Structure 1
Amino acid sequence: MTLEEIGGDSPAHQAAADIVSDLAAWRRGSARWSELPHSLMLTGAPGTGKSVLARAIAATAGVPIVEATLGNWQSAGHLGDMLREMRRSFAQAKDQRGKRGKGFPSNMPVAPAHHYKKTYSQDVLDRLVKTYSIPARQRDTFENALEDAAAIWRWYRAAADERTAPSQSSKALQDLSKTAKKLYEALSALPRQAEVSLIAETDRVGFKIFEGTEDPAGLPVLMVPQDDGTCEPVALNLKDYVHLLDAFQRIAADAAKLPPGRKGAKRDDALRMWIANIETLWTQRLERAFTRDVHEDGTPLTSSARFCVDVFSYVDPDTPTSRIMHEMKLRITATRQRSTGRISPQNGG
C-alpha cells in the first residue's frame, strides 16, 4: 500500500511524502545523501497507523523495510539477549541494502548512480576470493560491498574536489563587500539631477506595483507576509537602497572573517569512508578481526591490512600504502573507543 492509496494530509503524511521526494531527488543526483534527513519519529496510541505509514513510505519509495519492536527485543531474555536481538535487526537492515529497489542500483543504495562503475574485473575478484579465503556463498555480497565502497569513495572525492578552500571563500566575500561599498558610495554621491531622476523612477515603479499593473517579480521589492498567508509587495525607495548596500557591505566584510583552515595534514574523508565500509565488510560480513600490524618499513602484516592495500589499489592506485595504514589505524582507534567489548579474532586477522 502506497502513500497515495492510504491518503491523508496530516503533518505525519507530509513528512512521509517529503522523505519519498528527497529519495527521488537523490536518485536523480540533484541531492547528496548527506543532505537528506535520516530519521523520522512517529508517536501515537496503538492502532493509529504508525506502522502502516512506515510501510507506505517504503512501498512508495521502492525500498526494503525491516520491522522491529522493543517488545520483540525484550522477549529474547536478559539485557545481553535484548542487545543481541537489536544488533541482529540492524544487521538485517544493512543486509537489505543489497536488495534492488525501484530506481536504485542493483547493489546497496548509498551513493548516486553516476558514481557506480565497474571497479573489479572477474579475474581480480577470483584472485581476491582465493587469496583472502572468501567463502563461495559470500562472493556476491563480497563483490557488491567492494563496489559500494568504491562508489562511496568516488562520491566523497568528488565532493572534496568541489569544496572551496576557506581562503578562497574569504577573498570572494571581501570582493563582494568592496563592490557593495563602491555602489553605496556611488549612490551617496549622486549629482542632484541624477538623484531626482532615480527617485522619480523608483516612485513610478512603486506606483505601478501598488496599482497592480506591473508584476513585482524581478523588481526591487520587499515581500511582506500578511495575516492571510499571502505576501504583499512593497517597493523600495532610494534611501532603502542606500541603507541596504551599507548593511550588505558590512555583513559581507564580517562574513569574510572566516576561521582559518586546519593546520597540518588534512583528513581524507573519501578514504576515511572507504576504510569504514571495508571494516564493516571485514567484521560483520566476513566475521574477522580488523587489525593493523606493519613491518618497520610500513609493509602491512595482517590479512586485513594487506587486504585494504590490495583492494584500494584498484580504487586509487596513486594513494600510498602509508596513508591507507594511517587511516586504518585511526579507524581502529575510534572503533575501540566507541565499543563496549572486543571483537574475537576469527578466521585469521
Structure 2
Amino acid sequence: MVKKHICSGLIERVHQPLARSDWVAKKIKGHLLDQPKIKAKDIVKDVQHDHRVRLSYIQAWRGKEVAREMIDESHKQQYHDLPLYIEKIRRTNPGTEVRIHIDEGKFKRLFITYRPCIMGFVSECRPLIGINGTFLKGKYQGILLCTIAVDANNGFFLLALAAVENENYQSWYWFLSILSELLNRYLNLPALTIISHRQKSLPEAIEKCFPTCFPSFCMQHMGKNFKGFMKRSANTEVLLMLFWKAARKATIGGFEKIMFNIQCADLEAYDWIKNIPPKFWADAYFSGSRYSHLTSNVAEYFNAWILSALEKPIITMCQEIKIQLMARFEEKRELGNTWSGMLVLKAQ
C-alpha cells in the first residue's frame, strides 16, 4: 500500500480511442470558425491542451469534418432566419434602415445602416466617403460592400454596408440607390465627395445614384494599376512618385509642370496617366474637396477591422460588426470626455 499520494491533480489523459467524432466536433467548432484552415495535427494539440485528451490524427480529421458540416448547416440556417433577425433589428433599433432582396425565394442582398451611423455622419462627419468591397469568406461567400466616412478626428466612421452576391453594376446600384434615398431625406446636406476605385461598374453606379457628387478615383488603387502597367520599366518607382506629386499639386501650372517631367522621362507612362481625366484624381482640377484624402484607405482600414467577422455566418457576422461598432462608439465617447478644449485632437 502506498502511504504517500504522489500523483498530480492535472493528470494528462491517455489516448482515447473511443472519442466520438461529434464530441470532437463540438469541442473544436469554435476553433474552426476562427481558423477555417486549421490542420488536423493542430486540432490534436488544441484538444490535448484544452481538454487533456489525446486524439489520433484520424479522430481529429473526422471531428473536423463533422464540425465543418455543423458550421455549414449553421450558415444555411442563418439565411433562413434572416427575416426574423431583420424584424428584431427594426424593433430594437428604431431608425435603423434594413433592406433585404430575395430573388425566387433565395437570399440575394442585405443592406444595413444603423441610426447612430447615419445620424453621426449627417451631423458630425465631413461630406466625404470612401467606397469599397471585400470578400465574404463563409460557406456561401459573396461580397461585403461598405461606405466609410471620416470623422472630425480623422478616424473611420461606418455609414452603411451590404452583403451582396457579386461586385457588379447591379449590386453597386442597389446598394448606392438605397443610400442615396436615405441621405436625400436631409435637405441641407452638402454635395458628397465619393472616393472609389476605377472598376467600370462602380463609377457608373455612383454617377447614377449621386449625380451631384464629386467623384474621385483612389490614388492607391491607380498607383497599383500603374505599377502593374509599368512593371518592366526601371523607373517605375520614380514615375509613381511623380504621379502622386502631380495628384497633390494645387495649381494647374504646378500640375502641368510635373506632367511634363513625366512625359520627358517616359512617354508610355505619360500616355497611361493622361488617359485618366485629371478631374477625378488631381487636386488642381478637382471641383470639390477631398480634405487631403486621395485614397479610399478608410474603407480598407474598416475591412481589416472586421476581418474575423467575414468568415462567420451572416447573422453572426452582422452581430459581431454591430458589437464592435458599439464598443468603438463608447471608446470614442470616453475619449471625447477627456478633451478639455472645443477642438478635437487632430485640429489642435
Q: Tell me whether the two structures share a fold, i.e. TM-score over 0.5.
A: no
Q: Which has the higher strand share?
A: 2
User: Radius of gyration: which is bigger?
Assistant: 1
TM-score band w.r.t. shorter chain: under 0.3
- Structure with the bigger percentage of helix: 1
